[in-house]
Structure formats: structure tokens, C-alpha cells
Structure 1
Amino acid sequence: MIRKLATVAALALVLTACGGTTKDSGAKPGGPSGATGAANAQAELKTGLKFTYLPKAVNIPYFSVVGKGVEQAAGEVKGEYKATGPSDASAASQVTYINTAAQQRQDALLLAANDQNAVAPALKAARAQGMKVVTLDSDVAADARDLFINQVDSTEIAVKQVELISEAIGGSGEIALLSATANATNQNTWIAIMKEELAKPKYVGLKLVDTVYGNDEDQMSFQKTQGLLQAHPNLKGIIAPTTVGLAAAARYLSSSEYKGKVALTGLGTPNQLREYVNNGTVKSLALWEPAKLGYLATIAAASLISGRITGAEGEKFTAGSLGEYTIGKKAEVILGPPTVFTKDNIGQFNF
């Protein structure tokens, strides 16, 4: 899938507040900000830049929304935008697209990685040819990219999901995790934090009995949900920290004997999960605004190319209408906290 553009209209999405950002007070949206280190914060953003957006896999609704944000930002800097990627969420498949982007002399690659280390050699080679690499959603080894745009603080989102499942099952019972791919950096980080949280005294009543992987494929996630319920007859709840997995699990539960008996929560877009929230299959879920993630990553990439920032800790840059951000440790930038969606508020969101 390839799209090029010179200018793009504003997103045809309702971008309501999905949590705050890490904006500093006094920032002027759209204008340069102060910065530390060697970067020149007053430098003009270059125009005509070429951006390639490489999600974990194409045709995943969540990543399509992220792509809308990339497209908007590319248009604002009068750049060219190309979205491409594999149909399967595998690292080996992504390597081919990384190499192609480098060969095509793209200025920046915006990548949601399927594996932290497997794609690193290709990324290092691409950077050696002058291409900037900005990861989003799921990171790679820090020495293989320039910046990581994290959708949310990892601890915050992991703890929130444990909190939501505990509330849904009354603080006691067996639970399981339905993840994406076994090597997904973000998923594994969240799962590790969830396990630490579950070990705390306040969650003594919760017992994690299984972790399975649906590979961010709808049918496989559907089958893994079915398998969990057959393998664990006393299961009380499932956490699916992946939009594909959560939607697939909700579809299975909603038409099975387990509806109302097995609780489900995780990370998903309101549009995908609205039906299941309204019919009671899912009491609550969480997420950030995916389009803003893509937008922030693209402006960050343009800022790198233009010399506004270098990726050093403490540097600041302005991401258009989102305001000012500060680069943290290991060249990480956090979009902002998540929003919890329930039957009471999910109708207010459209993404």
C-alpha cells in the first residue's frame, strides 16, 4: 500500500482527549521550543521529506489509525508519505521493507517492530545510509534507532490493565493473558510489569494461569481464546493487551456460554470494541489516541532530520498542535496517559 501526498486535510477523525500529553507549560503549538544539548531548536523544519511508515502488519485497524496521524503530519511539513508492510506480523517480513526503504533513500522510517533484535541489523544498515529511524508502539534495540515514541508509560498501562480485570472479577479468581506475538517488545514489557503487579499483596486473590499468543491475527486470537476456556474451566478473566486479540476474544465470548461469566479487558480502539462494551461482553478497556502517536512520531522524525533535535535526553521539541515534548532516557518520548473506555463514555470517541 503506497500513498504519496504534498498536502493533506485534517484528519476525518474525532480526536477527543485520550489522556494528556507530556507537554511542558507555556509551549506554543506549531512553533519551536527551547532545547538543551547540541540541537538547534530554532531550525526550520525541512519540507519535501520522504517518510515510510512500516506497521507490524497491514490491515490491522489500530495501525491504520496510527497511519492517519503519520499522513496528517507528513502533509503539514509538505512531505511524501508511504505506508507499506507485511500481511503477517513477523520480524523476517519487516526486514525486506526496511531494506527497500533504505534503497529508495527515504528520509525517515517510522516503525512498529515485531521483534526487538531481529530487525536491528537492517535498521543499523539503513541508518548508516543516512535514514532516520523512529520507532513507535513497539521498540527495537536502542542502538538501532534514533528515537522511540512510546504511546504511554509502560508501567502505567500495565498496572491499569491489572486494575481493570481485578475490578471486573471482584478481585479473586484465575486469569489469563492473550498477547500478540511472543517477541513483541511492548507486549513483553507490559506482561513483565503485570506479573510484578500481580505479585503484590493487594492482588493475592488473582492467579495468572496461562499466557498465550494470537500473533496479532484475528482467527488465531479467536482460537486461542477458545483454547484458554477449554484448558481452564475455572477461568474468570482474560487480559488482551492487543487490539486484534481483544476484539477477537470479545467476538468469541459474546456468542458463547461464557458471556457474563468470563470477564475481558485490555487495549483496543473504541470503534472496534463499542459493540462488545454496549452488549456487556467487555466492561472496560483502555487505550491512547493512535492517530496522535503517528503524528508525534512523524514530527519527531522531521525534527531530527531538520537538526532541531539529536535524540539526546533533555532536548525539547514542539509537535505541532500537540505541544511541547521532552526526550527522556534512551531517547524515549511518551505520548501521554491512557483513557479508560466504558459503556458510559465510549460513544464519545470515534477512532
Structure 2
Amino acid sequence: MLKLSGRAASAVLCAMLFAIGTTASAASIKEGLKIAFVPKQINNPYEVIADNGGMEAIKEFKGDGKVVGPSDAGASSQVSYINTLTTQRQNAIVIAANDANALVPYLKRAMAQGIKVVTFDSDTAPAGRQLFVNQANAESIGRGQIQLVSKLMGGEGEFAILSATPNATNQNTWIKWMQEELKKPEYSKMKLVKIAYGNDDDQKSFVETQGLLQAYPNLKAIVAPTSVGIAAAARYIASSPYKGKVAVTGLGTPNQMRAFVKDGTVKAFQLWDPGQLGYLAAYAAANLASGAITGKEGESFDAGKLGKRTIGKDGEIILGPPTTFDASNIDNFNF
């Protein structure tokens, strides 16, 4: 049997304790945690998938989960839900923020009462939460959208962006990086003519698509970095004379976009798995609420089937890079 000196034995013990302390295991999660998900919009298909992923995770670690939220994606529409959840003394609130700043005072009040706050999909200012679970690196998403649309429109011509709401944190961050990518010499023949807002509403996004095509007769592409927007734009283009002439791309789910890929309206688009995003956010919230992590950079925790995850700068946890979907692979995915 190997014998260690007192000093060596102490060093080994410290190392073991450090290893245990820096990575929270699934066993670190308390049972019965009350965790509420607040989507941007309760009936948004993307949000439903994300929230279902969260509920799946909560069931795994034997928590008590629920989804509550507004039917519109307005900046202040989530406030009353935050206030109610605070009164109900939830252990954690997991929220996709409609506005980076408007929700902060209410989320700070929740945190002051011991409720843990995790943003996912769309962040608040850091003061409004302890952790942010991001789909992918915002810069890579934004730049990737320009790289993709450039291929689809042959590297030249006019294009427009159909966004969600003017205050959506994630949309605005991606668009900022899209504009940065456009500054590169290889995109000198491409021109962004308009950023339109469909407010994550199907009908408004549909009408905005129509307006863009009427206002810019030479438009070659529409980029919609929102699952509601890309589906609405594709639906309009599919039954119009613009089909095959105006490219539609952006961020959407394979299930909602499959028919448009099959009929040739959409050649390619991108996304991550929103179910996994919600799943990861639930595990982050549970570890936080259990005291297994505090939200500091460098801490790690077990996220069930997604494995070990590490907290980055400013409390950010990244799910992973997006996938490009097209006719060759779309039938391999079901979400």
C-alpha cells in the first residue's frame, strides 16, 4: 500500500476537495426546486420548444417546473409575471428577456428576495441576472448569417433584415455583428437596405415582408434572425412571383422550415436546438438555486445529458455553435 507523508496527504486531500468543489454534480441539485420559465411570448413555436426542454430537465432532477408568460413580445409585457413569481417565492426564474433594461429593476427585486435569475436566449443587462445561457457565441451567429446570405445571393445585391422587436437583446447583438461582417472587402457589392421589425408576430412579419419587396424591387434576399420572422417571410415568398428570385434565410427550426426547403423557397438557414437551450438553462438555474455554483467565471456544473458546462465571462454559458440546415440534412432533425 502506498504511504504518503502528512504534507503529501494534505496536498492530495486539497486537490480532491478542489476537484469536488469546482464541478457541481447532478447529486448537488436539491429535490423539489420551484423553477419558472418566462418566455418572450407564450405561443411562439421556438419558445415552446425551448420551454419544453427546460421542463424535461426539471423532471429529471425532480423539481417543480412551470411556464408562464405574455401572449405578446412587448418590452414590459413580462413584468407582471416576474412580480407574481417573486410573490410566489420561486427558487429560480428562467427568462428570455424582451428588453435588456426594462426588466432589470423587477428581476433585481426578485434576486434581493433570494430568487435566482437565469436569462436564456435573450439577455438582460448583467445586473438583472446571475447567469446567461447563450445559444452560441453572438459574434459567430451574426457573422455566420452574413456569410450564409452572401452565398445565397452570389455575393452582390440588396438585402434586408427582418428582425423581431426593436429592443430584443439577442437580435440587436446579432445584427451588430452582421453589420461588422459586412464591412469586410468581400462584401463590398452587398448592400443592407433596411432593418424591418415584425415584433415576433406572424402576421406583422408577413406584412413587413410584403412591404420590403414593394419598397425595394431589386431585393435579392431577406435575412430573418427570428424563427417567427423567417417562417412568415418564407410563407409570403412561397406563394408569390418572388419565389426563386429572392432568397430567404435566417434562424428557424427544421420542423417549421422543412416544407419551404422541400419546395425550394428556402435553400439554407441556421439554428441550434432550442430544446437543448432550455434544458441547459434549467440545469444552470437548479445548480444555482441549490448553492452548487454561485455564478462565478470558471465554475463548472453537470448539465445532465449535455455533460459538464463551464461558466464564462459575465456569467455566460454557451450551448454550442449553430447548425446550417438545407435539403441534404434537414430530414435528420426533428424539432
Shorter-chain TM range is over 0.9
Deviation, 1:40, is 6.5
Aligned partners of 2:290, 2:246: CA distance in 1, in Å?
A: 51
Q: Does 1:145 align with 2:132?
A: no
Unaligned stretches of 5+ residues in structure 2: 1-17
* DSSP 3-state at the match of 2:301: strand
Task: Find the partner of 2:290 among 294, 302, 306.
Answer: 306
Aligned partners of 2:199, 2:60: CA distance in 1, in Å?
A: 34
Aligned partners of 2:168, 2:124: CA distance in 1, in Å?
A: 9
* DSSP 3-state at the match of 1:101: helix
> Contact 1:326–1:333 at 8 Å: present in 2 too?
yes
Aligned partners of 1:136, 1:165: CA distance in 2, in Å?
A: 26
**Amino acid in structure 2 at the alignment position of 1:243:** S
Unaligned stretches of 5+ residues in structure 1: 1-31
> Contact 2:101–2:124 at 8 Å: present in 1 too?
yes
Task: Find the partner of 1:323 among 301, 307, 314.
Answer: 307
Partner of 1:178: 162
Aligned partners of 1:197, 1:40: CA distance in 2, in Å?
A: 38
Deviation, 1:44, is 2.0
Aligned partners of 2:186, 2:57: CA distance in 1, in Å?
A: 43
* DSSP 3-state at the match of 1:178: strand
Deviations 1:121-149 (A, max 9, x none): 00000111111000000000101101000
Aligned partners of 2:63, 2:302: CA distance in 1, in Å?
A: 18
Higher relative contact order (CA 8 A, sep 6+): 1
Partner of 2:13: none
Query: Superposition pairs for residues 1-351 of structure 1, below 5 Å?
Result: 36=22, 44-351=28-335
RMSD, aligned α-carbons: 1.4
> Contact 2:142–2:175 at 8 Å: present in 1 too?
yes
Deviation, 1:91, is 2.2
Deviation, 1:33, is 6.8
Deviation, 1:67, is 1.1
Partner of 1:28: none
Larger Rg: 2
Partner of 2:7: none
> Contact 1:43–1:306 at 8 Å: present in 2 too?
no
* DSSP 3-state at the match of 2:62: coil
Q: What is the identity percentage for the equivalent residue pairs of Structure 1 and Structure 2?
A: 59
TM-score normalised by the chain length of structure 2: 0.93
**Amino acid in structure 2 at the alignment position of 1:172:** E
Aligned partners of 1:44, 1:152: CA distance in 2, in Å?
A: 26
In the alignment of these two chains, the number of paired residues is 318
Deviation, 1:163, is 1.0
